[in-house]
Chain A
Amino acid sequence: MTLTLLAEEAPKGILFFAPEMFWDCIMIASLFVLVFWMIQRARAGLPIPDIRRIAGLEAIDEALGRATEMGKPIHFSPGMSTFGSEMYAGLAVLSYVAKMAAQYDTKMVVTTRRPQIHPVAAEIVKQAYLEAGRPDAYNPDDIRFVSEWQFSYTAAVMGIFQREQPAANLMIGYWMAEALVLAEAGAQAGCIQIGANTNIFQIHFFIVTCDYTLIGEELFAASAYLSKDPMLTGTVVAQDMLKMVIGVLVVIGTIMATVTGSAQGLIDFLSL
């Protein structure tokens, strides 16, 4: 079941240069340069901006503290997606939470939906326990691959909520139709809940059921925010710069469309 042939998803043929992706290429290259520049600044000890307060991430310590005081476990899931940006962000948060859980001696249950994510999550948690100086506290049985079927996974995690009564539930990643079901089940079990989702069609369910919600991009700033690592912060600064460029482009394009009647010239230029 864990065997997925990578060739299936690969594009047919080899594309050495795709002209329609010129500006996408420029955008990615700019991002690389900006990230590299910011990392160099961070390494040189030069000042780089701080990340603004993100309430959902600050609440992670509170959630862990609550679980520790109550002597109950915490539940963490990195979401439903396979390897991709949301999963990497979720796993980065997992690393932080696992380290904190190890330090506080709090049991942490991690559930995964994707078989290929499970060994990675297990390695991350094991490494976090090692870094916290508590390798003996790592229990591989707490890192559980549940089911690849969306609602089998959901049903099983709902059962875990009721049987193990976690004090905190962290759902950090990409979520689909199970978002509401799981968050409701967590609320029913009395968990303090922190949700993060980039799926705009489901995130509102987290907003109404979770105590704290990370909206979209906030998830991608999480690893830098939690670790306070200047190099990771540098990447967030670089991404912000690119967002500002896009914002400026939107303003210029809109002014052109309003004043001249069309922004086709700019679109043609950017569609080289």
Chain B
Amino acid sequence: MEQLGNIVSTICILMAWSYLIKENAFYTFAEHLLVGMAVGRGIAYTIEVQLTPRIVDEMMGQGRWSLLIPAVIGCLIYFRFAKGYEWVSRICMAVWIGYGAGNALAFNPATYMPQVFDTFIKLDSIDNIIYFLIVISVVWYFIFTVRKDSGFGQQFSVVGRYALMIAFGSAYGSITMSYLSLIIGQLEIILRDTLHLLK
């Protein structure tokens, strides 16, 4: 049974990789399989993780009837399919958007100040001086409404941009290495687990 699973995994990996040559029927099949599985899993997940514990267990079982409010609001989205009553679904969207904005406003700022405090460092080493200059120049780079066409302002903004690019280059290298490890994992499934060419 395990070997059957490995063979299926290998076939799926090869079908997905066939995209690298060009789009073909094998890739399309793998793509539709993946999307179809996601839909199936999504429905099962919603029933198992949301509907059953919330509606059946908590609301109907334990009598937490307050859950009826978000449940009803969520169901309003299906009014999109009711001709003439599509506007009702906007109530659901309005709640979602309002909740998202409120949540972001209330809980995101708490992360800002500790970051600011962490930049209060002694300029007693080259590392710290570079760190300080990069923080200030990058903040300067992201100020959009001050003219930086020439002079020190422009040059300092360029320093910020270069600092960003160096940081991105470093992250690019490390994350590419982690992606290579993913490819190695796939090759292990094909060469070791399925074809038994590696030990």
Contact = CB atoms under 8 A, between A and B. Distances in A.
Interface of A: 1-9, 11, 20-21, 23-25, 27-28, 48-52, 54, 82-85, 87-88, 116, 119-120, 123, 146-149, 151-153, 155-156, 158-159, 162-163, 180, 185, 200-205, 207-208, 215-218, 221, 225, 233, 236-237, 240, 243-244, 246-247, 249-251, 253-254, 256-258, 261, 263, 266-267, 270-271
B99 interface: yes
Nearest to B24: A162
Contact of A116 (B16, B93, B119, B122): B93
Given A257-B120, A267-B120, A159 B145 contact: no
Contacts of A162: 19, 22-23
Contacts of B169: 204
Tell me whether chain A's interface is mostly helix, strand or loop, or mixed: helix
A244 B143 contact: yes
Nearest to B109: A24
A151 B19 CA distance: 14
A148 B16 CA distance: 19
Given A21-B109, A24-B109, A156 B31 contact: yes
B34 A155 contact: yes
Given A83-B101, A266-B120, A116 B67 contact: no
A148 to B, nearest CB: 5
15 contacts: A1-B43, A3-B46, A5-B67, A6-B73, A52-B146, A116-B77, A148-B38, A149-B34, A153-B38, A156-B35, A201-B175, A217-B144, A237-B145, A240-B146, A271-B117
Interface residues of B, number: 77
B42 interface: yes
B117 to A, nearest CB: 5
Given A49-B146, A201-B171, A258-B122, A147 B164 contact: no
B119 A217 contact: no
Given A3-B75, A27-B112, A250-B119, A207 B168 contact: yes
B35 A221 contact: no
Interface in B143-199: 143-148, 164-165, 167-169, 171-172, 175, 179
Contacts of A119: 77, 80, 89, 93
Contacts of A50: 145
B171 to A, nearest CB: 5
B142 A243 contact: yes
B145 A152 contact: no
A216 B142 contact: yes
Given A27-B112, A120-B93, A4 B74 contact: yes
Nearest to A205: B172
B145 A5 contact: no
B71 A3 contact: yes
A82 B104 CA distance: 11
Given A3-B75, A5-B50, A266-B120, A246 B139 contact: yes
Given A203-B168, A225-B144, 5 more contacts: A3-B74, A6-B70, A123-B93, A155-B16, A204-B168
A5 B71 contact: yes
Contacts of A155: 16, 30-31, 34-35
B54 A5 contact: yes
B135 A250 contact: yes
